[in-house]
Amino acid sequence: QQQVKQSPQSLIVQKGGISIINCAYENTAFDYFPWYQQFPGKGPALLIAIRPDVSEKKEGRFTISFNKSAKQFSLHIMDSQPGDSATYFCAATTQSGYSTLTFGKGTMLLVSP
Amino acid sequence: DAGVTQSPTHLIKTRGQQVTLRCSPKSGHDTVSWYQQALGQGPQFIFQYYEEEERQRGNFPDRFSGHQFPNYSSELNVNALLLGDSALYLCASSSLGGVTYEQYFGPGTRLTVT
Q: What is the CATH number of the domain that holds A20?
A: 2.60.40.10
What integer pLDDT is reported at residue B41 of this predicted model?
92
Chosen from A25, A35, A99, A102 to mutate, greatest number of chain B CBs within 10 A: A99
Query: Which CATH class name applies to B5-108?
Result: mainly beta
Beta pairing, strands B44-50 & B53-57: antiparallel
What integer pLDDT is reported at residue A21 of this predicted model?
98
As for how many domains chain A has, the answer is 1
Evaluate whether B44 touches B33 at the Cβ level (below 8 Å).
no
pLDDT of B26-84, one tens digit each?
998 999 999 999 998 999 999 999 989 999 999 999 999 999 999 999 999 999 999 99
Residues in chain A with CB shorter than 8 Å from the CB of B5 are none
Structural domain boundaries enclosing A32 = 4-112
Residues in chain A with CB shorter than 8 Å from the CB of B43 are 44, 89, 101, 103
Q: Can you give the residue ranges of every domain in chain B? A: 5-108
Evaluate whether A4 touches A23 at the Cβ level (below 8 Å).
yes
Beta pairing, strands A10-14 & A107-112: parallel
Phi, psi angles (nearest 5°) of residue B25: -75, 165
